[in-house]
Structure 1
Amino acid sequence: MKTTKLIHATYPEIDGIALIQRFADHLVKLRTDKLAAVSVGDDEPSRDLGSDDVEGAPLEQPSGVELTWQDTRRIELRVNKIIQRMRAASGLAHLKDEEIIRLRPLFTSVKLLTLEGEHWVDELIATLHAEMPWMAPATIEVWHALQRGAATGAVIRIPPLILNGPPGIGKSVWARRLSELLHIPRCEIDASLGGVGFSIAGTERGWSSAQAGRPLETILQHQVGNPIMVVDEICKAQSGTSTNGANHSFANSLLSLLEPATSAAWECPFYRTKIDMSHISWVLTANDASRIPAPLLSRCVVINLPKISCAQLQGFAVRKADELGLTKASADAIEQVIGNEMQKANANTSLRDVVRILRRAEVLESRPMLH
């Protein structure tokens, strides 16, 4: 694990109270020294006195060095000006105190999770493949990406992927399981729900609903700079036009985060400061890659996935039934149901249906037995 600075700004570490006290102490010292010099005098014997004698002299003199209300006020005004200039130099003068505090982890303490070695990578990939063998093309792509950095203990990051395949084969489930095996935070965004990219990039300041985007919020929440972002239904992403004619597109908002040159110094619309988002891993899912804009396709590795078979669904159900602690009778019944459904004409049983059946079986088995 490494720690890094992700924000392109300087944290305005200013303790106003301490600064006021320093100025006050300094002013008292100046007045004390001046009073000592006046009291001792400038005749020839006085020139033979040492600095210790001068410093001790005011102790025998009457008061006259205390700060007045006007002195305190002048010091406070000067400290406020210093704080304003330091904030302006930091690039965060436009933010409120609570917003600067919210961004504080990005200056020093954000973690970058690293690979634990080649054997560790092999084991987690083997686990992922055993659980979802029909996702082998995606699993192999991730395996190769992780192996390239495993020998050197590099930061965990996979190239942007587009998992293109029929609905219900477990593309999102695969991405979730990958993040679990890597022990890395994740965030899921449904591109089909609208929002025209605001959930990705955030909303500009000035709007009543202004907020940061989900990727940045995930980093701030977990204080991990390389989470996995799962974007579902990217082929159904929307775009819109504001009242002033500006076009807002989900794909365009995503492009700036996928492009290495821009993601390393990505400017957040909400905080209006540059942040390094280049460590994020992106997994996009789609049912029809032909509907994805070409600029987005060119920045991702498109992995075409086949339809899930009856045997693969049954194998998944049996493994999950064992994990849930279901009886063998329940597991056999679920396996039989899947087989019967898949034999029907135009069968469209999906992984979602199997998960639903498993949950139902778990509920039924947990019911108290009636006598």
Structure 2
Amino acid sequence: MKIKIIEAGNVFLTRDKIEKRWRAFYKMLRQGKGLKSFDGIEIAEKHVMHDAHRVITRRTLKLHEAIRAASPLKTEELIKLGRIAGGVDAMTVTADRADEIAAAVHEEFGWLAPATQYVWHALRRAAEDGTPVRVPPVILVGPPGIGKSVWARFVAHQIGLPAVDIDASKGAVGFSINGTERGWSTAQPGRPVEMIISSRIANPLIIVDEICKSVSMTSEKGRRMSLEDALLSLLEPATAAAWDCPFYRVSFDMSHISWILTANTTDGIPAPLLSRCRVINLPPPTRGQTIVFACTMSGRRGLSDDAARAVIDAVKYADRSFSMRDIIKIVEHAHAIDDTTPYLLH
């Protein structure tokens, strides 16, 4: 499915396109008005097209130079945008494929079933409506280390969507999402826009981690940008459909993006942001689920039977609960020493 993604006015008008428009204009004018002169100079009918050619050439060059002078874009930027000016692809799924994706995700992340069900329903709706895949904005709230971000990346992989990870705790999250205005050395487009341009896909999946830890930043021009400032216009389909990029200064259709935000708690998340997203509270995995995950990861990492048994026993008989992040670290440690001291974890 092809989707028009940018509205750039006359930015992409080439000299050939401008000249073609002028020729069509003069032809219609002469045929409709019985035109016998240009610029007040009477000329014979046989000389009309010759004089029109000179006028068209002169005005084409002048208009093209004016358009290029008015555009803030560099040649390489015009080339990048020109590649998507005719539209980009949008990923779609069938109902059967939606079911297969949900089953695969649930098998891998059974403890995140509420989140998986939410995505499954979104995929089903898209399949039934014949529209591009879009997961409505969602905030996954749960303890650290339970696999929220890994789950989101796995979902994107299963669907076939390009994905972007943005860490909200690093401070410049607002500018990472929206981009910054040109005119300064730090000017750059936002990462969602860059992903659309580079992948030529209209509906990437954007993952924003740790939104409960985000802070506001101020640009060199004194522009304040918080996570809330950056996201609000992008989460509303109506405003996202004609979103003005501060770097490229053209309008992008960002309404097809899937937004998955993660947090450890809803404390500190602005109310307007909460109101625009579905909030899904995720409990920590059970001991049984962590054991299954340890077994899966050990097999995937190719651990020997002894090393895998050591990992599983460490998780099974520990006097504390392990997060999924902890288990991945244990498996990686076991893999590193598997060939030399396979029983170290006992």
Interval containing the TM-score (normalised by the shorter chain): 0.7 to 0.9
Residue 86 (structure 2) aligned to one of 100, 108, 111: 108
Amino acid at match of 2:78: I
Q: What residue number does 1:83 align with?
A: 64
CA distance in 2, matches of 1:293, 1:201: 18
Residue 258 (1) aligns with residue 235 (2): yes
Q: Pairwise mapping of residues 58-69 of structure 1 onto structure 2 (< 5 A)?
A: none
RMSD: 3.1
Question: What TM-score comes out, normalization by structure 1 length?
Answer: 0.77
Q: CA deviation at 1:9?
A: 2.1
Q: What residue number does 2:43 align with?
A: none
Q: CA deviation at 1:252?
A: 1.0
CA distance in 2, matches of 1:119, 1:149: 12
Q: Pairwise mapping of residues 330-369 of structure 1 onto structure 2 (< 5 A)?
A: 330-341=307-318, 343=319, 347=320, 349-365=322-338
Residue 285 (1) aligns with residue 266 (2): no
Q: What residue number does 2:102 align with?
A: 125
Q: CA deviation at 1:357?
A: 1.5
Is the alpha carbon distance of 1:314 and 1:368 closer, same or farther for their aligned partners in structure 2, counting shifts above 3 Å? Answer: closer
Q: What residue number does 1:171 align with?
A: 148
Is the alpha carbon distance of 1:76 and 1:153 closer, same or farther for their aligned partners in structure 2, counting shifts above 3 Å? Answer: closer
CA distance in 1, matches of 2:290, 2:89: 38
Q: What residue number does 1:26 align with?
A: none
Percent of pairs identical after alignment? 46
Residue 250 (structure 2) aligned to one of 255, 264, 273: 273
Q: CA deviation at 1:360?
A: 2.1
CA distance in 2, matches of 1:314, 1:150: 35
- In 2, are the aligned partners of 1:237 and 1:251 still within 8 Å (CA)? no
Q: What residue number does 1:12 align with?
A: 12
Amino acid at match of 2:184: W
Q: CA deviation at 1:165?
A: 0.5
- In 1, are the aligned partners of 2:15 and 2:61 still within 8 Å (CA)? no
SS in 2 for 1:106: coil
Q: CA deviation at 1:137?
A: 0.7
Q: What residue number does 2:175 align with?
A: 198
Q: What residue number does 1:46 align with?
A: none
Q: Pairwise mapping of residues 142-221 of structure 1 onto structure 2 (< 5 A)?
A: 142-221=119-198
Q: CA deviation at 1:229?
A: 0.2
Cα deviations by residue, 1:48-67 (Å, 9 ceiling, x for unpaired)? xxx9xxxxxxxxxxxxxxxx
Q: What residue number does 1:95 align with?
A: 73
Amino acid at match of 1:340: Y
Amino acid at match of 1:364: I
Is the alpha carbon distance of 1:93 and 1:246 closer, same or farther for their aligned partners in structure 2, counting shifts above 3 Å? Answer: closer
- In 2, are the aligned partners of 1:12 and 1:87 still within 8 Å (CA)? no
CA distance in 1, matches of 2:232, 2:263: 16
Aligned residues: 313
Q: What residue number does 2:31 align with?
A: none
CA distance in 2, matches of 1:228, 1:84: 39
Q: CA deviation at 1:85?
A: 4.7
- In 2, are the aligned partners of 1:165 and 1:287 still within 8 Å (CA)? yes
Question: What TM-score comes out, normalization by structure 2 length?
Answer: 0.82
Q: CA deviation at 1:119?
A: 1.6
CA distance in 2, matches of 1:158, 1:166: 22
- In 1, are the aligned partners of 2:167 and 2:173 still within 8 Å (CA)? no
Is the alpha carbon distance of 1:168 and 1:203 closer, same or farther for their aligned partners in structure 2, counting shifts above 3 Å? Answer: same
Q: What residue number does 2:41 align with?
A: none
CA distance in 1, matches of 2:341, 2:107: 34
Q: CA deviation at 1:336?
A: 0.5
CA distance in 2, matches of 1:202, 1:348: 40
- Give 5+ residue unaligned stretches, structure 1: 24-50, 52-71
Q: CA deviation at 1:205?
A: 1.1
Is the alpha carbon distance of 1:244 and 1:182 closer, same or farther for their aligned partners in structure 2, counting shifts above 3 Å? Answer: closer
Q: CA deviation at 1:362?
A: 2.5
Q: What residue number does 1:231 align with?
A: 208
Larger gyration radius, structure 1 or structure 2: 1
Q: What residue number does 1:134 align with?
A: 111
Amino acid at match of 2:2: T
- In 1, are the aligned partners of 2:174 and 2:217 still within 8 Å (CA)? no
